[in-house]
Structure 1
């Protein structure tokens, strides 16, 4: 329990909650002491509304984004106050601003959070209308609150300049360890491999987000500000994590076939499984040491070496027991598995060195100057906004939906005898998301959290009457509410409600119905958001999934093209190769995220869900097979790629291109040949191994070298056969999907 509390309080969610709590509490305490409580409270509100825009990025983008959010928050509040006496102007302008702020989400995550801050400010402006110079003072104080939060955030970065990156690296390593553990679980004889692969796909979505955050901070910061020793170290660790993940993805085998192959030598596969578990456990220990801000101690170094030696001994025993000739194929399989494990251990050793010593790591620096090609360019062309002004855009439909729902909430709030009708608007903005599933989930969690928080707070107020104690509990509730919002929304909503009730108990102790009204407003807002997502221009995921499938298939095809080029050219991996690999990982994760959203929608909208999941799984497996070849080429001195290799790769790429053409409706499904294995291809597969053996025998200088060459041949041929099968399966699944549409 102590370890979990330490991990929680050392995490970035708690750190972010601490920043906003300080930014909100300090002005209230200081100004209340000199008789200006209301001013302090308004500054706190400005900080609270600006806070969401502070997302992971380099310092320049942070300052720019938070400053713009603070200006929008203050400007929105001022505009509503200025126009309030003129309803015929107020409501058209209010409607336009809601739609416009929702639409700027097309520019990415930071714009989305700036939009969120602006929408909250517009809704909260109706809480208290000011007149005359009070309008300017109020808006100025809110702007001061936003800038004060920015100051707190920058100060945190100066005091703990690398803490955020360390936490992200720790989470990246932890999720990578979890992924490795799942790879080990696949080796159980009775493993539910479908379920395990589904868990891996969910992890891929999480890893994609963290990888993008780290690229943004480490690579963009490196290109703009030069590379400090700490930045070099973190970038090196990040690159090692990506390579470990690729190696883990590469160790994708036909487990049933391997269990049959080694059924008469049962200790082979469990030995490899234990090695995989030790790799995952080592990564997990590194992650924990980073999270706890402690120098890593390499106490378990021998464990990995012992596990590696155990696998080497198993391979030697297998060769001895069955003889050189009979065991040759099995030995090649196990040797490939051993090689991947050795490479993963090498990468883990690099990470261990980075965190177990405080010495300069310049000798380990990532030297590629073209790393910035891996990050997403930051620019905001007006064409992007204009192109999304159509019903084909999910953001456009969501913007219309949230605008209509907020207006409806405003009408309902004014018609019903509610204490704070603006809570309905705030609930709609906080809950409503483009997807039905997430809106439904957040509606439920917020209502449950609000009820639970109200009950707990009023129960506490029945026994506690000391204002200092109530104020302290309010601050703690606020801190925990923000800390848990990203971890567990229901718990976060519970603490936020407690905070609100305690604040009202201090400000208006005679008002005992605040929780009742908050629960009622939350229920109304949640119901409106939920119904609107179902009825108003809904964005059902089955409509957008084909686009995600097309992007994923196309990214895999481009990755295979780069692998083919790299196999011929050899040498170091090129920026084009790494960009193609990154895009393949990202698009596969995006496809899975879309499928996840679909699985949360009503059953009637989950059209062809089994077939779609099959396509998701096939794309992930294709990526795994592609990474297997790509990784092998990087980690071995491979021979010159043969014509047979090029023929097979071209066939796989052609299959994927045909699948894309079908999805784009460029060709009729009936014109696509699903049996791509012509006579030449069959000949390649049946004779390639013998021809390759003769070729390699001529190239090899001794038996050991010949053995290594055959190891390459065996793995590459296996993966080529698998790639053909997978690409054909993808084409067939997409043809079936199009037929049912």
Structure 2
């Protein structure tokens, strides 16, 4: 329990919650000593409103983002206060601001959080309206609160500058470990392949998000990545983890056939599976050492595991003789992949156990900034999204109309805190139906539980100091858990809010009553609006995600083909194509995941969509296998047959893209690629057969290496072509089902 408590306090979410709690509470405590509670409260509001925009990045980008947010908050607060008593202007202007603030989410995550802060400012300002000169003073204090939070965040960052990166790296190691363990499960005799594949797909989504966060803090221009040896070690580990994921994906086999093939010699499979499990366990062990700030100690003897697998292969070869030639080539390739994985882990182990400085990464950090999402905000991006085809546009309209209805309800009914309805709508409403439904439920449940707990505590507690201390504690817990478990976070935030109002208003029962009513009204409005006002059902967006994932896989294939033909070092374009393929396949999976949370009537063609998600993931796996082999072996000259088959696969993928785009030229693309394909596969197999017959012309080691390459390249090309044809077939079924 003590260890868990330490980890909780050391977590990123707790640190961020502590930052905002400190920045909000300290001004209130200090100014209350001089009977200036209201001023302190205004400063606290400014700090709390700025907090959402504090997302991880290098210090310069964070500071710019927070300062921009503090200005937007002041503008929103000032607008509400100036126009509140002029209804003819107030409602149109505020609703226009709601729409515009919501629309800036098109510029990415940071813009989304800035937008969220601005929307919260509009809602809160409508509940704390000032008059006359007080408007200027109040807005100034809110701005000062934002600046206090910015300064506090910078100070906390300097107190522990590397901890966020370490925790993100620990999470990346843990997720990669889980992924590797699932790969190991595939070798079980009665493995549920579909269930394991589904878990792998969803882990890929989490890993993509984690990788993006790490890229931000490790690679963004102006960070310490180039100056700090610690950061360079982290960068080396991150690169190794990305390469491990490619290697993990690259070991794509037909597990059921292989289990059947080696059923009379199960030791080969069980030895390899044990090695896979120990690779996962080693990553988990490194993750724990970073998380717990403990010295890393190697537990698993991975080199011994490699030797055991090598021995199992030799025993199998000795027992079967020449009849095992094909199988031994396959097993040897598996051994080579495992050696590469162990090599990556050894790099990570050295990074965390040796104190030597990393002066040269052998060009591995070259062109790293190209892997980041560019931070610029062109006006044409906003213009392009001003249509119903844009999810953000539909969300902005939906939110604007729902806020308008909230205002109308507040005007028609005697509700004490109308802005609570607005806050609930803003906090709950999301682009997707599933997440909005989930948050509506969690918000209502959390509010009810929080009100019950708060009422119970307040019947027992009457001393204002005790209530104030507990309120601070609940505020800290509320901000911490909001990102972890929204229902628990909503519970603690509700207790905190009720405690604060109990110090301002003695009639706490009335406060709780209105809190419950307003939350229920806001949640209901958000839920209904998401269902009826231009809903963003995933089946509408899925063709776009499918198309993008196929395009990314096609581009990855093109880069692999170029590398095989030209040889040499791996270019940045290859790694960018690989990154894009990983992300787009992950985005497709995430979209499918969201679809499963929607009503059954809206889960249109779910089996076909899932099939396409799995096929794209399998295609990515096969591509990674081919790409990894080419990178890690001295390969022979690419034959014309290889290029023809690659072109055939690319044409299949282009045909699928044309189908999804409803391009009338699609059929011509499909017919053009059929001409030489059968002959080229025959040609490749004849080359291989001829090399087998010429065994006596080459030394044994050279021959083995040549045959391993021939076997893997041919098998992967056949597999790639089969997969591309299956993708075409699945896309046709998807189109016919429309």
TM-score tier after normalising by the smaller chain length: over 0.9
- Encode CA deviations 1:499-540: one digit per residue, 9 max, x unaligned: 112222223233323222212111110100000011111111
Write out aligned runs for 1:589-738 (5 A): 589-667=586-664, 673=670, 678=675, 680-692=676-688, 694-695=690-691, 702-738=699-735
Of 331, 345, 351, which residue of structure 1 is paired with 2:342? 345
Q: Give 2:478's aligned residue.
A: 481
Contact 1:663 1:734 in 2 (8 A): yes
Task: Provide the TM-score with structure 1 as the length reference.
Answer: 0.96
Which position in structure 1 is the counterpart of 2:577?
580
- CA shift in 2, pair 1:677/1:328, >3 Å: farther
Kindly indicate whether the alpha-carbon contact (under 8 Å) linking 1:674 and 1:731 is maintained by their aligned counterparts in 2.
no
Q: For 1:69-468, what aligned pairs fall within 5 Å after superposition?
A: 69-221=69-221, 226-298=226-298, 300-302=299-301, 304-323=302-321, 325-364=322-361, 366-468=363-465
Tell me the SS of whatever aligns to 1:187: coil
Give, in angstroms, the shift of residue 701 of structure 1.
Answer: 5.3
SS of structure 1 residue aligned to 2:130:
coil
Q: Secondary structure of 1:418's match?
A: coil
Contact 1:611-1:737 at 8 Å conserved across structures:
yes
- Cα offset for 1:94? 0.5
Preserved contact between residue 295 and residue 357 of structure 1 (Cα < 8 Å): no
Q: How far is 1:7 from its partner? A: 2.3
TM-score between both structures, scaled by the size of structure 2 = 0.97
1:177/1:280 contact within 8 Å kept: yes
Quick one: distance in 1 between partners of 2:134 and 2:660?
A: 58
Between the two proteins, the alignment pairs up a number of residues equal to 737
In structure 2, the CA distance between the partners of 1:452 and 1:345, relative to structure 1 (3 Å rule), is same
Q: SS where residue 165 of structure 1 aligns?
A: helix
SS of 1:267's equivalent in the other structure is helix
Structure-1 residue corresponding to 2:65: 65
Q: Within 1, Cα distance between the matches of 2:452 and 2:561?
A: 63
Confirm or deny: 8 A CA contact 2:106 2:392 kept in the other structure. Answer: yes
Distance in 1 between residues matched to 2:508 and 2:441, nearest whole Å: 27
Question: Whole-Å Cα distance in 1 between the matches of residues 574 and 9 of structure 2?
Answer: 40
Q: 1:717: how far off?
A: 1.4
The range that moved more, 309-318 or 275-284, is: 309-318
How far residue 602 of structure 1 moved from its aligned partner, in angstroms, is: 1.1
SS in 1 for 2:389: coil
SS at match of 1:326: helix
CA distance in 2, matches of 1:348, 1:164: 22
3-state SS of paired residue (1:327): helix
Q: 1:48 to 1:700 in 2, by over 3 A?
A: farther
- 2:523 paired with 1:526: yes
Give yes or no for contact 2:560–2:627 (8 Å, CA) kept in 1.
yes
Write out per-residue CA displacement over residues 531-568 of structure 1, whole angstroms, 9 at most, x where no aligned residue: 00111111111111111111110000000000000011
Q: CA deviation at 1:362?
A: 1.8
CA distance in 2, matches of 1:337, 1:597: 35
Is contact 1:27–1:40 with CA below 8 Å preserved after alignment?
yes
1-structure distance, mates of 2:19, 2:416: 31
In structure 1, distance between residues paired with 2:304 and 2:85: 78
Residues 651 and 673 of structure 2 are in contact (CA less than 8 Å); yes or no, is this contact kept in structure 1? no
Secondary structure of 2:221's counterpart equals helix
Moved more, 353-362 or 82-91: 353-362
CA contact (8 A) 1:222 1:231 kept: no
Note the alpha carbon deviations across 1:32-80, whole angstroms, 9 max, x for none. 1222111111111111111111112122211111111111111111111
Change beyond 3 A, Cα 1:366–1:514: farther
Q: CA deviation at 1:231?
A: 2.2
CA distance in 2, matches of 1:85, 1:504: 25
